[in-house]
Amino acid sequence: MPHNTEHAASTPNIIFFMTDQQRWDCIGTYNSHIHTPNIDKLTAQGITYSQAVCQAPMCVPSRTSMMFGYYPSQLGVRTNHGGLYDEDKLPSNPLPELMRQAGYQTAGFGKTHWNHGVKTEVPSTRGFEVRAVGLSRDSGHYEDGAVMMGDAEPEGLAAYYEETKDYGGGEENSKGYIGCTSQVPTPWHRDGWVAEQCLNFIDEGLDESRPLFLYLSFLKPHAGFNVPKEFEDLYDINEIPDIPQPPWELEQDTHLAATDAVNESSQINYWEKRHVWEAMTEEERKRTTLRYWANCSWLDDYLGKALEKLERQGRLDNALIVFVSDHGEMMGERQHRFSKYCLYESSVRVPMILAGSYLPQVSHGTEDDRPAELVDLVPTLSKVAGLPRNPQLPGLDLLGETKRLATFCEFHGKGTEPHHSAPALMWRKQDYKLIMYMQGTLGGAIGRIGEFQGELYDLAADPNEWHNVYVDEKYAAIRERMTGELLMHLACVWSRGPVFYDRHGLAALE
């Protein structure tokens, strides 16, 4: 539904909260078990986008896409091993730079995962005037002038890493998902330190002469699950549901099976956890879910503290508040599959909320079931900030009237191997999902495009996506219609940007 915001008297403050790997159904609106009282307040004060998806089911391409407003393949950043490294070759201004140009004080706390520190000695903050990152200076995530936890709180960061030393890369091995009741003080957790930096800034660093763009972005609920006890204690393990499993033992004829076949590390990581989980008791499995939810509750608590301080400073009197995550988490579905790296619902759907006094009262507490994407945030917030629309971007104004037919997400394998998997593309409606994919690697794919395969899921009848009906003739009309829509969607998107030359300039895109 469209939402008229013309009543806003002046440029609103924009408060942007982001988590990492939080499932769409891990907010109180969609999960009666979970304790997220502050996110629940945002849903009551705004619009929840029930059909929102990410553009790639992993951190770097998802966040890069969201911040620049283009799809991953338009940017060339398709896996966690990618990144836009050269500041003089950026395809568009990233969100914090747009906000800075619009006259905002820009302050960023926590994860961006630009990856540009990998090849740049002094990487830019890309528009953030105030910056704090909960990692060490040599992590590859340093940004010019940023306060780094490794410098400001080395003892705390060392204690955190000591507690998680057996959790593996990305804290995502079986021990990382099993987790523990953390013995590390919360300000010594990376997210705790970042949150405290943000809270101190709200108390002491606000520029009264400018509107505020505040970005607070956490590393969790992503594994590892070393959770402060007070948030574990919010949950009764006897009330945690077990994860339902499909009526088959192995992935067959799916994009996930195809990418596993060319990615040895993906197979190793999967089976390492599957063997552990198959030997677990039901209570042990539930403990992992409990700790994941407790992580969500912990971050929700920090959101509440930040909002309380902002309210005391008067910065919520005219404000638009964003809450979103970069992608989801499989949490043991599909025969004990964890993390993301696939195009299934729990991985690609994200929580997305726009809230705050900037929105008209009539929109508070509403749900918008139009197809929404993370790339919609740049055009939406640009308009709120009074910036002109960039017609090259594929995103839509979430507060406007235009409606797309479906949502798009792309997957190119895990990226840990030296080659990319051949692409898998998703076209998702509320009741149906189409996935087009190929076996093998990208390198030889052009000569094999006739070997494409597909998945089609009747989400209304099969929300777990256990039964692929792509070859079922009862669904032939839906399959063919959605295939054509996906083709034309991408044709229209690629025709616009990021590179476009015409004697009429960008007016040719209007």
Summarised one tens digit per residue, pLDDT across range 453-470 is 999 999 999 999 999 999
Write out the CATH class of domain 13-404: alpha beta
Global pTM? Answer: 0.96
Beta strands at 46-49 and 352-355: parallel, antiparallel or unpaired: antiparallel
Q: How far apart, in whole angstroms, are the C-alpha atoms of residue 99 and residue 211?
A: 10
CA 174 to chain centre: 22
Cβ neighbours of residue 16 closer than 8 Å, sequence gap 6 or more: 213, 214, 215, 216, 217, 322, 324, 381
Contact between 140 and 118 (Cβ < 8 Å): yes
SS3 76: coil
Cα distances (Å, whole numbers) of residue 244 to 212, 285, 300, 428, 451: 44, 11, 27, 23, 33
**How much is the average pLDDT of 301-312?**
98
Check residue 117 and give its pLDDT: 84
Instruction: Tell me the backbone φ, ψ of residue 101, rounded to 5 degrees.
Output: -65, -25
CA 241 to chain centre: 25
User: In the structure, what pLDDT confidence band is assigned to residue 56 with cuts at 50, 70 and 90?
Assistant: very high
User: In the structure, what pLDDT confidence band is assigned to residue 4 with cuts at 50, 70 and 90?
Assistant: very low
Indicate the helix (H) or strand (E) that contains 319.
Answer: strand 319-325
User: In the structure, what pLDDT confidence band is assigned to residue 249 with cuts at 50, 70 and 90?
Assistant: very high
Residue of 414, 372, 417, 421 whose CA lies nearest to 395: 372
**How much is the average pLDDT of 482-510?**
94
Could you tell me what percent of the chain has a pLDDT over 70?
A: 98
Residue of 299, 181, 164 whose CA lies nearest to 232: 181
State yes or no: pLDDT of 58 exceeds 90.
yes
Helices (H), 20-173: 37-44, 59-68, 72-75, 95-101, 149-152, 154-163
Average pLDDT, rounded, for the chain: 95
Q: How far apart, in whole angstroms, are the C-alpha atoms of residue 152 and residue 313?
A: 26
**How much is the average pLDDT of 48-67?**
98
State yes or no: pLDDT of 6 exceeds 80.
no
